[in-house]
Amino acid sequence: MKKDIGMSQVLRQTMAEAKSIKPVFDEAEDTGVNLVGADDFTLKDIRLSVAAAIQQWVESDDLSEGESSADRLLALMIGIADENQDGEIGDDEHGVLDMALNAAWDYLEGKGVSEEDVDALLNDWDGDVADRVRDLVASVLPEGEDESADIDNFAFGENDQEPALDAAYKMKMAIRKGKKVRIRKRVSGTVRLSAAQKAGLRKARMKSHSATARMRRAKSMRIRRKTGLK
């Protein structure tokens, strides 16, 4: 029987253990794969969720006793993969979580967070670093409609997609072609999210997947096509 564990125990018991992460798509060749169709949609959907989750994380002011900012961000990332919130993280959900964490790396670096701080946050879940990163991101996040545009630009822009694709398709080794794999550790066990963490997930999803967000996005895409942008 698997034991339910809290978020702090997850950090202590599993995130400190460095493990080689299996590639999300085993059939992918080492030379790389171009994403098309459903694969491309999946990556963009994950990036939408990640950007919204980080924005919600920055806005969170309801941490429980003993819960750190790192705990809350980890919960939001787990929630992206474990949508039925049963606490079980299977192989497919680990694949989604790997992609989400690499997308989070892209997003945070894009906001000016140093590689060292992103590494300490997303691999070691350092609470002090989490507070510092949260403050920095809060200082540069746009507001209002610009906040929504920020989510869409991250998901549908092309400049920052390559690292996430590398993570999804080329994570058979800790070092590949001289480049260190960024996310090196896995979550294990059964992870139950608190009520506040689940509420944060719902708010994040409203940012990126509500009917209003989807219609705004569709309108934006139509405008981009009419103006010759892709």
Which H, E and C letters describe 34-71, residue by residue? Answer: CCCHHHHHHHHHHHHHHHHHHHHHHHCCCCCCCCCHHH
Answering whether pTM is above 0.85, one says: no
CA distance linking residue 55 with residue 25, whole number of Å? 29
- Identify the H or E element spanning 92: helix 91-110
Question: Looking at residue 26, what is its pLDDT?
Answer: 38
Domain coordinates of the chain in residue numbers? 4-226
Nearest to 97 by CA among 124, 70, 77: 77
Question: Looking at residue 12, what is its pLDDT?
Answer: 53
Tokens 């689940």 locate to: 198
- For 53, the token pair is 């989750």
DSSP for residue 21:
P
Per-position pLDDT tens, the chain of length 230: 555 556 666 655 554 444 444 444 433 333 344 445 556 778 889 999 999 999 999 999 999 999 999 999 999 999 999 878 888 888 888 889 999 999 999 999 999 999 999 999 999 999 999 999 999 999 999 887 778 889 988 988 754 445 444 544 443 334 444 556 788 888 877 888 999 999 999 999 888 776 666 566 565 555 555 555 55
Burial zone of 167 (CB within 10 Å; 0-12 exposed, 13-18 middle, 19+ buried): buried
Q: Within 111-228, where are the H helices?
A: 115-124, 127-140, 145-156, 161-169, 195-209, 211-226
Question: Looking at residue 5, what is its pLDDT?
Answer: 58
Question: Looking at residue 168, what is its pLDDT?
Answer: 45
- For 186, the token pair is 């896995």
β-pairing verdict for 4-5 and 190-191: parallel
Q: Report how far apart, in Å, the C-alpha atoms of 229 and of each of 14, 216, 220, 224, 226 are.
A: 44, 17, 11, 5, 8
CA distance linking residue 38 with residue 108, whole number of Å? 26
Backbone angles phi, psi at 133, to 5 degrees: -65, -45
Question: Looking at residue 63, what is its pLDDT?
Answer: 94
